[in-house]
Amino acid sequence: MASIFTKIVQGEIPCHKVAETDNCLAFLDINPLAKGHTLVIPKPEIDYLFDVQEPLYGELMTFAQKVAKAIDATMTCERVGMAVVGLEVPHAHIHLIPISHVHDIDFSRPKLDLTQEELAAIAKEIAEVI
Ligand code: AMP
């Protein structure tokens, strides 16, 4: 069965898209730790990030860097943190999280409760500087 992220790639499930290339996609996490918490994925369904082969792996990292710079430029934070967890969704993804303190990237913390309108506005703001 297709992963939830493959369904997003295929347009079967909506997302708040931040940026896209032929092989990669960035969209907002629906349960964000911070405003601008973004997931960066390879479009092909590969479970484990560190199984992604070159040249896609390098392409994904370069794409993530571009997205991170746009998050940094638009969101309130000291810098953008990057995390790989992957325990919930078996489709490789990188978390990009605006942080000002180490606890801002603590996944055991309560998530923000943002409306669809707020998420749409955040995605637009980040997308506009990419
Ligand atoms: P993990 O696999 O542990 O890295 O966590 C998966 C992440 O994907 C979590 O932060 C979820 O909030 C996020 N997530 C799950 N489903 C969706 C979705 N449909 N759209 C956006 N983010 C999602």
Beta bridge partners, 80, equal 98
- C-alpha–C-alpha distance, residues 16 and 113, integer Å: 15
Strand order in the sheet with 17-20: 17-20, 24-28, 38-42, 94-99, 79-83
Which domain range does residue 73 map to?
4-129
Query: Does the CB atom of residue 44 touch ligand 1 within 6 A?
Result: no
Query: Does the CB atom of residue 9 touch ligand 1 within 6 A?
Result: no
- C-alpha–C-alpha distance, residues 30 and 46, integer Å: 21
E strand or H helix at 52? none
Ligand 1 atom closest to residue 27's alpha carbon, by position in its atom list: 21
What's the number of domains the chain is made of? 1
Residue 57 pLDDT: 98
Residue 61 pLDDT: 98
CATH code of the domain containing 82: 3.30.428.10
* In contact, 130 and 70? CB cutoff 8 Å: yes
The 10 Å Cβ neighbour count of residue 122 is 22
* Positions in the chain short of pLDDT 50: none
pTM of the model: 0.98
Pairing of strands 17-20, 38-42: unpaired
Residue 1 pLDDT: 85
* In contact, 113 and 75? CB cutoff 8 Å: no
